[in-house]
Every structure is written in structure tokens, then in C-alpha cells.
Amino acid sequence: MRPIEFEILLSLAAGARHGYAIIQDIEARGDDADVRVETGTLYRALQRLVEQGLVVPTEPRPAAPDDDARRRYYDLTPAGRHAAAAEARRLARLVDSARGLRLIPRSAG
Amino acid sequence: MTVQKPPGQPAPSGQPEPRGAAESQREVLSSDAATTWPLRAYDVALRAFPAAFRESWEGDMRATFADRVAAARSTAGRAPVRLVARELANVLHTGLRERLHSNYPKPRIMHLRDLRYALRLLIRSPGFTLLTVLVLAGGLGLSTFTFSFLYTAMIRPLPLSEGERIVRIDAVVDGRRRAIDAADVGALRTSLRTVRELGAYTGRELVVGRDGDGRMVDATAAEPSLFAVARTPALFGRTLLPSDAVEGAAPVIVLSYRTWEVAFGADRSVVDSEVAIDGVSTLVVGVMPEGFGFPVASEAWVPLPATTTAATMPGMESVRLVGRLAPGVSHAEASAEASPLLRRLLAARDTSARPANVAASVESFASVQFGDERLLVFTVLNLLAALILLLALVNVVNLLLARANERIRETAVRMALGASMGRLVVQGMWETLILCAMGGVLGTAGAAWGLEAITRWTRANMEGNLAFWWVWRMDSVTLICAGAFVTVAVVAMGVVVSLRTTRTNVREVLQDGGARSGGRSIGRISRALVTVQVTTVTVLMYFGVMAGVMAERALTIDPGFDTTRLVQGGIAPPPARYTTDAERAVLFRNLQARLAEQGELDEVILRRTLAEKQSSGGRFTLRDARQTGAAPSAFVVATLGDLNTLGVQVMDGRPFNAADDGERAPVAIISRALAARHWAGRSPVGDQLRLAAVGDTARWITIVGVASDLPYGDPLSRDRSADAIYLPLLQSGATYATFLARYRSSELAARQSLRQTFAQVDPLLVPDGVQSYDEVLRKVGLITTSVSRLFAACFAFSLLLALVGTFGLMSRRIGLRTREIGVRRALGATDASITALLLGQGGRQLGVGTLMAAPLLAGVGMAFSYYFPISAWISLTAGLAVSLAIVALILAATWMPTRQVLRVTPRDALWRD
């Protein structure tokens, strides 16, 4: 899984979002101000995730007060949630290994 | 489930939105002017994505982008240029990646059936196809021919190993190109680092064979290193060796293939055998390969004695110098290295008060043969050819537009049925491609035929005067050039025809029948094309007329004296045997006297132009130094014999006499024009002057006479002048002289008589380059008339193109107005008012085209007046005449369809669709 795809899955794990909200979430999550996602990259990744069945444009739209009529919302499919969890576990294992090898300090976690 | 609401957005309406419905978004998103331009740019960038991707994601992407821009604006308060730039770059990058990595079905726009369709259409209208192909072939063929011809003549590197590195080194003295002084060759050879393997040469005429069956050949006296520069080995035997050039070496000769064939019947045994060259038994050491004539058109090579460059006094002999550029060195770098060197060498011996301005010029050998105006000539002639191509393209585009207009309903129906724009454009392009391919093949074949014909013509008429690399034929450069021109044609025609297709308004066409749809823009294009056509043809015709005036001048050159039965030739005393002025003077005097005694020859004069008016040698100083302003200068001509032959009579004082030789006080005769300029109102006889042209500049020369005027200088240049100073040849120190004589019976007898006389005076001396004036004039006339005819054919073609094009275009436009004209006539309009209306329609473009041509005509006219002695009023009159003629012809081409439409009765016109 590519980093951008995992980032999108993470953003959608909290609930359905439209494209701009995903970008905002990813940029807010990064501790580095230079973390940037542009629309071309985002939608190419979204297309891959939709094709893989991990993400789906939501059919029943979110509740009216929070809705924005102009855009589509995306949500995780069960497979997407499963894939995101699996990827997170894999990354956690890798981080643990890195800690064991003292590549990153223990306190960082 | 939480949903983040983007900032700065209108309240959600709760309405569901169809996928990819960009229209309504566009209205919302474009409401803010500051977000309009980024969105427009974004829309354009989105085209980088495949259509299938855009169909699913475009609307969403735009919305997200607009959100980002709006959010950034609300924070920063201005357009977020950096964000937009990043986004655009990202969209372009990811879009192209998507195209590369995706497997979307590519929309098929290339269909074989379109090719078949285009072919069918073309076959169905053979008249249109033939006309278009012929016009294209003419334009493409002419351009290709012109470029290829000029490229071979002026630019192509010599056909020798690494020929592009072969250069000629010239001295440039006071802006004029000069050969190198033989005395400077040694210094240049040892000092120059940027040019290597220097070889000096000079032209020489030799008689090969015995008396009676001897043959005159244009030979080259060359340093043996010349063959190293050429990097060409002999076909048989060997080339010249350094040992051949040392003093006292046995005389040897290397023959050209042609001389070997013509003079020795291609007999192999002639190599290593002795033959008579100028009456001296000479060993033939080799024969060069066929087609080799380095440096220019040499028919044989003899060694240039090593003493020429090693032991000659400065100013005694000039040689041409060739060499090879060191690898990686440019012509400019080599010139920069050679210039100071040459300047030092000349400064060391220039004793005149005002030293000449000296530089060296190192230039490509092939191109330098054409003189300093070669780039101008190359550009101007190619520009003319390009203009003819432009004219052809304008006409073909007009024809194609007319066709596209006729088929507009078909195009609209196809569009309405869902044909993509790409498909329709490609379909239209097939027709263009086929026409250009056919025109290109025909044009290239024509150009190839023309090149071969030129080669044949020059071989038949100018054999011996042609540079050995001037072989015109079909080659890779011609093909590349033809390909480039065809590509230009395809692109130019394709763009216009595609524009027509993309501007089709389906609804209008289907409702209206298409007569008016797109009419305005097409009308604009058509009018612009007519204007371009008028401008182009006016400039072309003007150039043609001015070239014609020049040709007429060249054919009627007035040398200033009677040239009938006049022969001329050179006397070149070999420096090895004639070492002093006194020895040469004896030779000249003997020759003049013997020639004058010949019953066959009359009015014999020897002369030598020592300096031209524009050169530093032409300057003189008056003893009675009252002159002010620019230093006086004149042509300086040394003579021996009857000045009457030149049509010059002594009007005041005395002519030269036999006593005016090196032993006596120096004397001069000046021309009447010069006398009037510097001795206004009094006789110059008895005054004294000093001349830079003669070796001893400290010597005062006494004026003994005033002679009638004779124009000197290039007859086709502005440098022609009658300011002349004549000196006795025997006092001038000339090392070379030209003789002029009038023969009594025949030219052949005169030549024999000349040979015999020379042999009597010096058995080893032959007259140099003997030719009759009639022959020179015939050659000049032949070249001039041939070039003029070629020009005339080209310009006639362009005029025909313009007339046919205008006629076609006006016929169509007037034809479209038939009904309107019918209505006007039914309402009482007279024929005269309708004629005025229609002529006025064409008249506007005609006026604009003529006005646009005016500054160009002025430029061309000024250029002609600058380079040639053509007065401004001739240029002006010719410009006006050409403009008027074009206006009249184009109006005539408009009037013919007008007359036709007036024959239609109002009733028929109203019924016409």
C-alpha cells in the first residue's frame, strides 16, 4: 500500500469525508508543515482505492446540516477498514523493530 | 459520522448532485473573479488526464481545488499563486502518469475508412484535385529547388574528407578582401595555431602538348601541401612532393582527370612520361580522381616554387592561402588569431602616412567564393522562394476553405450524430495530407529535374569555369528540405482546415443550411488571405522588375570604348626569370612593339590597374596642397601603347611617349573628371602629385596631360568612377600586365599571332587567359538572360497563382451573393451600382494589401539602389507601376465573376438557393 493510500484510509476511518476534507485531515495530521497533498495525487489514489473496493463514494449522504451539496463523499468499505488495520499493524511491527534496533528512541512512542 | 465542512463555502442546499455535473459548479465557483483564472487554468491542466478519468473525477477535483483556493485566499487575502502553481504542476504530472499507466480504451480517431473517404472525395472532383496538386507542386518544387541550388552553390562543405574544416585565409585591407602576400605565407605558417596544413596556390595558364595540337589549361601552381589540405590521393601515380618545388628540381605536372581524358585520351602510360608544358619537357607524375578540381576548377597542378613564399620581396606576388581549421576551432577564433599577426606583418612595411586598416578573414572555402554578400544573396533568394510557397499555400488554403464550406452541412450532421471533434479534424487532415503528399512528390521530382538540368546546362555552357563541387542533383539535403517544406504546408493547411471544422456550429448549420454559419470567421480568414496574397505578389513582382532592370544593365554594359574585334589577355613574367623592374620593362616594351608590328593586330595597348579608387593605393597627395576634406583618390592605371584603344584621347598636354621609362622623371596623365574636381578652372599640366600605388611614395610625379574620361570599376556597382590617373607602365613597377588589341581578320588568327609573338620574345612565355571581349560579353549575356528567364518564370508563376486565386475566391464570394444581388436588382439597383459594390468588396483587401506592400517595396527598392547603380526615381517608378499593374489585374479578376453574376436575371437569382 502506498503512503498516500494509507493516509486516505486513515482519514476515512473517522468517517465519510469529501476530497478537500481528506486533504485538510492529512495536512493536519502531519507534524511537518511541508506535508502537502495536491488534488491530482489525491484523486489518482482515490481512484485506485475505489477500484480495489477499499473506498466507496457514499450513497446515503451524510446528515443535512453537515452536507455540502457540491461534492461527493467517500467512506471506507469493510474491506478498506480491514486493509487499513492490517497496514497499521504492519507499520506498528516495523516501528517496534526499529525501536528494538534503537533507530528511534523508546520515548518517541 | 462527522463531516468536515470546507471554509468559505455557501450553505449546503441538501440537493443531491449528479456525478461530474460541472456546469452548475462552474457558476458557483466562478462567482468570485479571483478564483476564475486559477479555475480556468485548472480546467486546462485537467486535460492531461484521460477522458475516462475526467468523466468520473473532474467535477470533484474542481470542487476540491476551488475549496483549497478559497481557503487559502481567506487566510492570505489574495490569490494563492504558489498553491495554484503547485496544483497545476501536480495535475499535469499525475494526469500524464495516469495516461501512461492506465488501460483506458483510446478513442480511435485514425480510421482507414477516412483515408478511403478522402481519396473518394478527391477523385470525385478531379479539377479541384489537379489544380491544388499543381499549385502545391509548383510552390514546393520552386522552394526546394532554390534552397538546394543555393545550398550546393554557397554553403555545402567541399566534397573532400572533413571538407567543412577547409578554410581560405584572406587579408581584408580597408574593408576589401585581398589575396595574401607571398612574403607573409612563411610567417603565417609558423605562427598560426588555429589553422593547420597551410597551402598556398596561384592560378596559371599552361599549354599542354606540342605546338599545333597544344591545349590551354587552367592550372594551379600549388605548394605540395595543397594536396594535404585536400586529403585526396592521386588516382594514378602521385601528387606533388616538397622535392618538386625546390629550386632546380625537374619540372613535373599532375593532371586532372578531365585533362588526362581530353588531352591524352585517358592513356595510362602518360603517367611517368615526359610531355611538353609551355614548350618545356615536363614529367607527368600523377592523375587526380574524376571530379577533383581543388581549389576551384583546376585542370592541372604544377609546383609553386619554394622560393615564391620563401624569398619573394613583399608586394611582389600574391597567393591564395588555404588550410584546415584545428579541431574545435571556429572561423571567428581563427580570424581573431590571424588578424593581429597579419596586421604586424603589414605594419612593418607600410610607410604611408595613414596606415591601412588590416584584418584577416578565415572562412569556409566553399562559401567565401561568393564574396561578402553571399549571406544576403542566400537569404533574399530563399525568401523569394518562400514567398512563392506562401502564395501557393494561400491559394490552396482558400480552395480548401471553399470546399470545407460546401461540406459544412455534412460536418454538422456528423457532429450531431456524435462524431468527436478529433475524428472530424483527422478526417479533414487526410485530404490535406494526400494533397500535400502528391504535391510534395511532384514538386520534389520537379526540383530534382531542375537541379539535373542546371548541372547539364552549366556543364554544356560553362565547362572549365565551374567550381568542382558544383554538382546539383537530388541528395539528402534536397530531400530533407522538401520534407520540411511539405511539413510546413501540411501544418499550415491543417491548422486552417481544422479551425474551420472546430468552429462549426451544429445548430446554426442545421437550421440555416450552412450558408452563413461560420461565415464571418471564414470571411475574415479569406479576406486576410487575399490581403497577404496581394502583398506577396506585389513584392515578388517588384523584385522581378528590379532584377529585370539589373539584367538589362548587365546586357548593355558600356565599357566606355569600342569592343568589336577586341582581344585581351595577360602577360605574367615568371618572377624567377624576371627579377627586376628593368627586366620586366624590357619584356613589356618588346612585347608591345612586336605585337604592334603584327599585321594581324592593331591598336595594341598594355595596361595594369595598380589601384582602385576606394583602396588605400588610390590615394594621392598634391604638391600644391590646397585640397581640403577627404584625401583625394582615383583609379591608378599604368599603360603602354595607344590610349585610343580604350577610347581615351589626350585633350591637354601630351600623351606618353617611348621615352617615358624607368630612367626618366616620372610622369602622369589625369582624367578630365579628376582635373575638374581638383584643378577647377585651371590646367593641371605641370603640377605634381605623389601616389600610394607606386612603390616609392616619396617620388613626385609630374602631370603631363589631361585625357578624356573612361569609367572604371565594377560596371554593376556604385563604385564606378571616371577619376583616373594614368602612369607609363614602364615607370610603374608593375609585375603583371594585360594587353588589349584589335584583330583584323579573325579571333583564331589573332590567338595564333599572339602565341607566335610571345614565343619570339620569350619562348617560355604564353599569353595568359586570352579571350575576346565578344566572348566575355556572350558569357555575361548568357548567364544574365538565363537567370532572368528563370526569375521571369518564377514570377509569372506567382502572378498566375495570385490571379487564379483571386478569381476563384471572388467567384465563390460573389456566387454566394447571387440571391442578394437578385433582390437588389429587383428593387431597382443598376448594374453599375452593383458592379461598384462588388468591386469595392475586393477593393478593400486590395488597398490594404497594396499599402502593406508599400514599406516592403521601399525596402527592396532602397536595397537595389544601394547595391547597384539604379536611381531612386527608377525604383519609385517601378514600384508604382508594379502596384498599379497588380491593382488592375486583381480588379480584372474580380470584375469577371461580377460580369457573370450580372447576366443572371433577377428572377433566376431569386430562385437560386
DSSP B151: I
DSSP B181: E
What residues contact B611, with CB distance under 8 A and at least 6 apart? B617, B618, B635, B636, B691, B692, B693
Look at residue B42 and tell me if it is in a domain. Answer: yes
CB-based contact A42 B12, cutoff 8 Å: no
* Packing angle of the helix pair B519-555, B831-867 (nearest 10 deg): 40
Look at residue B121 and tell me if it is in a domain. Answer: no
What residues contact A48, with CB distance under 8 A and at least 6 apart? A5
Mean pLDDT across B632-660: 86
Determine if the peptide bond prior to B295 is cis (ω within 30°): yes
- Among the listed residues B327, B331, B315, B317, the one whose alpha carbon sits nearest the alpha carbon of residue B367: B331
Please determine, for residue B724, whether its predicted confidence score (pLDDT) is greater than 60.
Answer: yes
Please determine, for residue B516, whether its predicted confidence score (pLDDT) is greater than 80.
Answer: no
Q: A55 vs A9, A24, B657, CA distance in Å?
A: 8, 18, 116
In chain B, which residue's Cα lies nearest the Cα of A20?
Answer: B64
Q: Can you name the residues that pair with B303 across neighbouring β-strands?
A: B222
pLDDT digits (tens, 9 = 90+) for A59-106: 655 555 555 556 788 999 999 999 999 999 999 999 999 988 888 877
pLDDT digits (tens, 9 = 90+) for B868-885: 778 888 888 999 999 999
pLDDT digits (tens, 9 = 90+) for B72-109: 888 876 668 888 999 999 999 999 888 887 766 666 66
In chain B, which residue's Cα lies nearest the Cα of A64?
Answer: B14
pLDDT band at B355, cuts 50/70/90? low
What residues contact B460, with CB distance under 8 A and at least 6 apart? none
Residue type present at position B270:
V
Look at residue B451 and tell me if it is in a domain. Answer: yes
Look at residue B816 and tell me if it is in a domain. Answer: yes
Please determine, for residue B754, whether its predicted confidence score (pLDDT) is greater than 60.
Answer: yes
Residue B894's pLDDT is 82
Q: A29: domain CATH number?
A: 1.10.10.10
Residue B89's pLDDT is 94
For β-strands B166-173 and B318-325, DSSP reports them as antiparallel
DSSP codes, B474-534: --HHHHHHHHHHHHHHHHHHHHHHHHHHHT--HHHHHHH-SSSTTHHHHHHHHHHHHHHHH
Instruction: Quote the CA–CA distance of B365 and B369 in Å, as a whole number.
Output: 7
Q: B608 vs B143, B264, B727, B761, B911, CA distance in Å?
A: 44, 36, 10, 20, 85
In chain B, which residue's Cα lies nearest the Cα of A40?
Answer: B91
Minimal CA separation from B425 to chain A, in Å:
30
CB-based contact B98 A19, cutoff 8 Å: no
Domain end (from B291, B322, B356): B356
Using DSSP's 3-state secondary structure scheme, residue B564 falls into: coil
pLDDT band at B12, cuts 50/70/90? very low
DSSP codes, B831-898: HHHHHHHHHHHHHHHHHHHHHHHHHHHHHHHHHHHHHSS--HHHHHHHHHHHHHHHHHHHHHHHHHHH
CB-based contact B4 A24, cutoff 8 Å: yes
Q: Which residues of A touch B65 (CB under 8 A)?
A: 39
Do B429 and B546 lie in one domain? The reply is: no
Which is more confidently placed, B480 or B570?
Answer: B480
Instruction: Considering only the beta carbons, identify the residue of A17, A38, A47 that sits closest to B3.
Output: A17
Do B381 and B329 lie in one domain? The reply is: no
CB-based contact A38 B63, cutoff 8 Å: no
Residue B801's pLDDT is 81
- For residues B444, B445, B449, B451, the Cα torsion angle rounded to the nearest 10 degrees is 20
Domain end (from B331, B356, B381): B356
Minimal CA separation from B39 to chain A, in Å:
13
Instruction: Quote the CA–CA distance of B380 and B382 in Å, as a whole number.
Output: 5
Q: A37 vs A3, A40, B728, CA distance in Å?
A: 11, 9, 95
The grid coordinates listed for B474 are 537530388
Compute φ and ψ for B853, nearest 5 degrees: -70, -25
Which is more confidently placed, B5 or B220?
Answer: B220
Residue B677's pLDDT is 85
pLDDT digits (tens, 9 = 90+) for B157-172: 888 888 888 999 988 8
B98 reaches A (C-beta below 8 A): yes
Question: Judging by beta carbons within 10 Å of its beta carbon (0-12, 13-18, 19+), is residue A15 exposed, middle or buried?
Answer: middle
Residue B20's pLDDT is 41
Q: Can you name the residues that pair with B153 across neighbouring β-strands?
A: none
Q: Pick the most confident of A85-99, B95-109, B123-137, B544-558.
A: A85-99
The grid coordinates listed for B423 are 475524428
Among B129-143, B214-228, B318-332, B712-726, name the one with the lowest average pLDDT.
B712-726
Percentage of chain B beyond pLDDT 70 is: 88
Q: Pick the most confident of B444-448, B802-806, B832-836.
A: B444-448
N- to C-terminal Cα distance for chain B?
A: 68
Do B315 and B208 lie in one domain? The reply is: yes
Q: Which of residues 58-87 of A touch B (CB under 8 A)?
A: 61-73
Residue B437's pLDDT is 93
Do B274 and B324 lie in one domain? The reply is: yes
Sign of CA dihedral B821, B823, B829, B831: positive
Q: Which residues of B touch A71 (CB under 8 A)?
A: 17, 60, 63-64
Do B746 and B809 lie in one domain? The reply is: no
Instruction: Quote the CA–CA distance of B820 and B639 in Å, as a whole number.
Output: 81
Instruction: Quote the CA–CA distance of B305 and B222 in Å, as a whole number.
Output: 8
Mutate one of B15, B25, B64, B84 to test the A interface: name it (highest A CB count within 10 A).
B64
- Would you say B497 and B404 are in contact if contact means Cβ atoms under 8 Å apart? yes
Domain end (from B721, B753, B785): B753
How many domains is chain A built from? Answer: 1
Instruction: Considering only the beta carbons, identify the residue of A16, A42, A68 that sits closest to B6.
Output: A68
Mutate one of A68, A75, A81 to test the B interface: name it (highest B CB count within 10 A).
A68
Do B713 and B740 lie in one domain? The reply is: yes
Look at residue B8 and tell me if it is in a domain. Answer: no
Angle at B689 (CA atoms; ends B684, B691), nearest 5 degrees: 135
Residue B34's pLDDT is 53
Question: Judging by beta carbons within 10 Å of its beta carbon (0-12, 13-18, 19+), is residue B133 exposed, middle or buried?
Answer: buried
What residues contact B159, with CB distance under 8 A and at least 6 apart? B291, B469
DSSP B290: T
Look at residue B766 and tell me if it is in a domain. Answer: no
Residue B104's pLDDT is 65
Q: What does pLDDT average to over chain A?
A: 84
- For residues B43, B47, B49, B53, the Cα torsion angle rounded to the nearest 10 degrees is 70
Q: Which residues of A touch B28 (CB under 8 A)?
A: 70
Instruction: Quote the CA–CA distance of B195 and B804 in Å, as a whole number.
Output: 56
In chain B, which residue's Cα lies nearest the Cα of A42?
Answer: B61
- Would you say B808 and B398 are in contact if contact means Cβ atoms under 8 Å apart? yes
Q: Which residues of A touch B9 (CB under 8 A)?
A: 68, 70
Instruction: Quote the CA–CA distance of B256 and B237 in Å, as a whole number.
Output: 12
pLDDT band at B31, cuts 50/70/90? very low
CB-based contact B15 A69, cutoff 8 Å: yes
CB-based contact A16 B94, cutoff 8 Å: no
- Among the listed residues B94, B3, B19, the one whose alpha carbon sits nearest the alpha carbon of residue A2: B94
- Would you say A42 and A4 are in contact if contact means Cβ atoms under 8 Å apart? yes
Q: Which residues of A touch B75 (CB under 8 A)?
A: none
Residue B311's pLDDT is 67
Do B186 and B272 lie in one domain? The reply is: yes
Residue B23's pLDDT is 41
- Would you say B80 and B396 are in contact if contact means Cβ atoms under 8 Å apart? no
Do B622 and B512 lie in one domain? The reply is: no
Mean pLDDT across B689-717: 80
pLDDT band at B630, cuts 50/70/90? low
Which is more confidently placed, B369 or B678?
Answer: B678
pLDDT band at B529, cuts 50/70/90? confident
Residue B51's pLDDT is 83
Do B34 and B152 lie in one domain? The reply is: no
The grid coordinates listed for B569 are 589577355
Mean pLDDT across B199-209: 81
In chain A, which residue's Cα lies nearest the Cα of B19?
Answer: A72
Minimal CA separation from A91 to chain B, in Å:
26
CB-based contact A44 B97, cutoff 8 Å: yes
CB-based contact A23 B6, cutoff 8 Å: no
Instruction: Quote the CA–CA distance of B469 and B157 in Å, as a whole number.
Output: 9
Q: Find the helix or strand (DSSP H, E) in which B126 lies.
A: helix B126-150
Compute φ and ψ for B654, nearest 5 degrees: -130, 155
- Residue A56: give the domain boundaries: 3-108
pLDDT digits (tens, 9 = 90+) for B388-420: 888 888 888 887 877 777 777 777 888 888 777
In chain B, which residue's Cα lies nearest the Cα of A21?
Answer: B4
Q: Which of residues 22-51 of A touch B (CB under 8 A)?
A: 23-25, 36, 38-44, 46-47
- Residue B331: give the domain boundaries: 176-356
pLDDT band at B556, cuts 50/70/90? confident
pLDDT band at B707, cuts 50/70/90? very high
In chain A, which residue's Cα lies nearest the Cα of B1?
Answer: A15
- Would you say B761 and B591 are in contact if contact means Cβ atoms under 8 Å apart? yes
Q: Pick the most confident of B284-293, B304-313, B495-504, B791-800.
A: B284-293
CB-based contact A66 B5, cutoff 8 Å: yes
Q: Pick the most confident of B91-105, B243-257, B459-473.
A: B243-257
Q: Pick the most confident of B516-530, B548-562, B823-837.
A: B823-837
Instruction: Considering only the beta carbons, identify the residue of B2, B91, B98 that sits closest to A14.
Output: B2
pLDDT digits (tens, 9 = 90+) for A23-60: 989 988 876 656 678 999 999 999 999 999 999 988 65
Please determine, for residue B328, whether its predicted confidence score (pLDDT) is greater than 60.
Answer: yes
- Would you say B302 and B218 are in contact if contact means Cβ atoms under 8 Å apart? no
Q: B466 vs B254, B268, B454, B470, B474, CA distance in Å?
A: 19, 26, 12, 7, 19
Do B823 and B874 lie in one domain? The reply is: yes
DSSP B199: E
Do B346 and B473 lie in one domain? The reply is: no
N- to C-terminal Cα distance for chain A?
A: 23
Instruction: Quote the CA–CA distance of B139 and B492 in Å, as a whole number.
Output: 14
Please determine, for residue B336, whether its predicted confidence score (pLDDT) is greater than 70.
Answer: yes
Residue B42's pLDDT is 92
Please determine, for residue B528, whether its predicted confidence score (pLDDT) is greater than 70.
Answer: yes
Residue B706's pLDDT is 93
Q: How many CB atoms lie within 10 A of CB B714?
A: 11
The grid coordinates listed for B858 are 521601399
In chain B, which residue's Cα lies nearest the Cα of A38?
Answer: B87
CB-based contact A16 B1, cutoff 8 Å: yes
In whole angstroms, what separates CA A27 from the centre of its chain?
11
Residue type present at position B268:
R
Instruction: Quote the CA–CA distance of B416 and B292 in Å, as a whole number.
Output: 68
pLDDT band at B861, cuts 50/70/90? confident
Residue B825's pLDDT is 83
Q: Which residues of A touch B90 (CB under 8 A)?
A: 38-41
Q: What does pLDDT average to over chain B?
A: 81
Do B324 and B427 lie in one domain? The reply is: no
- Would you say A72 and A57 are in contact if contact means Cβ atoms under 8 Å apart? yes
How many domains is chain B built from? Answer: 5
pLDDT band at B1, cuts 50/70/90? very low
Look at residue B864 and tell me if it is in a domain. Answer: yes
DSSP B155: I
Residue B3's pLDDT is 40
